[in-house]
Amino acid sequence: MLQHFGPQVINLLAALLLLLAFAMLSQRRILSLINLFAAQGFVLFLSTALVAALTDQKHLYVSAAVTLVLKVILLPWILHRLIRRLNVKWDVETLINIPTTMLVGILLVILAFNLAAPISQLAGTVTRSTLGIALASMLLSFMMMITRSKAVPQVIGFLSMENGLFFAATAAVYGMPMVVELGVALDVLVAALILGIFVFEIRERFDTLDTRHLEKLKEH
């Protein structure tokens, strides 16, 4: 029964991931963004655990546990604390309005799926169509980084890009070597550290987290 329902549930989780990516795109409040990011981490945990059960790869259980601890518990907690310290709970203003963003998002989804289609043909798993969705959610997170003007949502966008990548790795090709995973996770951690320092510097310099103020650093 697991073999029959497993791939279907993975497809469902892929759809949920896409839904969460769109929800993050259309969300105005930063608190809700963090909660959605935690939800994305939870979906990732479920799908990794399911893939581990389906393919019987022990190291994926470990990876699922790590995902749960890091992305569902630790990172959201750090972000919540950051928000409270920086006092940035206000509504997020976007560079282009939300319906247009979502429309562009839909076009990106079509593009991503068609780009991933030839690669999906090569993969041997039943859930290969999720590769397109994972690529789409990465592109959507990237777009979220572009259209937000405050620093914290941009950081969240970067982190959710990595979520998309992780999902692509586990669901579409049933896991990647542990070494690669650890390498990617380390990259993300270092990047988050640097972004954290960056955020504090901006705050110190401009007394606001609006990244449009960085334009003042131009030569003239």
Partner 1 sequence: MSAAGIAAQFTELALAVLLAPLLTGWVNQCRAWLQNKSAPGIFQPYRALAKLFQKEVILAHNASSLFRSAPYLIFGSLALSAAIVPTLGTDLPLNEAADAIALVGLLALARLFIALAGMDVGTAFGTLGARREMMVGFLAEPALLMVFFTASLISHSTSLSTIVETIAHRELVIYPSMAFAGVAFVMVSLAENARIPIDNPATHLELTMIHEAMVLEYSGRHLALIEWAASLKLFVHMCIGLALFFPFGIAGGGDWVGLVLALPALLAKLAVGGAALALIEMLSAKMRIFRAPEFLGTAFLLAVLAMLVHVMLEG
Partner 2 sequence: MLGPRNLRLASRLLYPAGAVAGLGLAAVALQAIFESPASRVLPLGLPDLPFHTRIDALSAFFLLLLGAVAAGISTFASGYLRAGEGQPPGLQCLCYHAFLASMAAVLVADDAYFFMVAWETMALSSFFLVTSDHRQAEIRRAGYLYLLIAHLGAISILLCFGALQAGTGDYTFDAMRRIEQPAGWATVAFLLALAGFGAKAGVVPLHVWLPEAHPAAPSPVSALMSAVMLKTAIYGMLRVTLDLIGSPLWWWGVIALAAGLVSALFGIVYAAVQTDVKRLLAYSSIENVGLIMSGFGLTLLFRGFGMGTLAALALTATLYHCLNHAFFKSLLFLSAGSVLHATRERSLDRLGGLIHRMPWVAWCALVGTVAIAGLPPLNGFVSEWLLLQAFLFTPGLPHAYMNMLVPVAAAAIALAAALSGYVMVKFYGVMFLGQPREASLSEAHDAGPWERAGLLWLAAGCVALGLAPVTVISLLDPVTRSATGYGIGSHAGSWLFLAPIEPLRASYSPLLFFVVATLLVVVTWLSVRVFYHGRVRRSGPWDCGFPYLDSRMQDTAEGFGQPVRHVFEPFFRITLETPSPLDSRPRYRELVEDRLWYWLYLPVARAVERVTALVTVLQRGRISVYLMYSFATLLLLLLFVR
- The residues, any chain, with a CB within 8 Å of residue 181's CB and separated by 6 or more, are 63, 166, 169
Q: Would you tell me how many other CB atoms lie within 10 Å of the CB of residue 71?
A: 23
Report, in Å, the least distance between residue 6 CB and partner 1: 11
Q: Which residues bind partner 2 (CB under 8 A)?
A: 100, 106, 110, 113-114, 117
9 vs 192 by CB, closer to partner 1:
9
Report, in Å, the least distance between residue 107 CB and partner 2: 8
Closest to 98 (Cα-Cα) out of 144, 165, 60, 67: 144
Q: Which residues bind partner 1 (CB under 8 A)?
A: 5, 8-9, 11-12, 14-16, 18-19, 22, 26, 98-99, 102-103, 105-106, 109-110, 113, 129-130, 132-133
Burial of 95 (0-12, 13-18, 19+ CB in 10 A): exposed
Cα(168)–Cα(86) distance, rounded to whole angstroms? 34
22 vs 167 by CB, closer to partner 1:
22
102 binds, among partner 2, partner 1, none (CB under 5 to 8 A by kind): partner 1
78 binds, among partner 1, partner 2, none (CB under 5 to 8 A by kind): none
Single-letter residue type at 73: I
128 vs 150 by CB, closer to partner 2:
128
63 vs 125 by CB, closer to partner 1:
125
Query: CA geometry: angle at 23 spanning 115 and 198, to 5°?
Result: 85
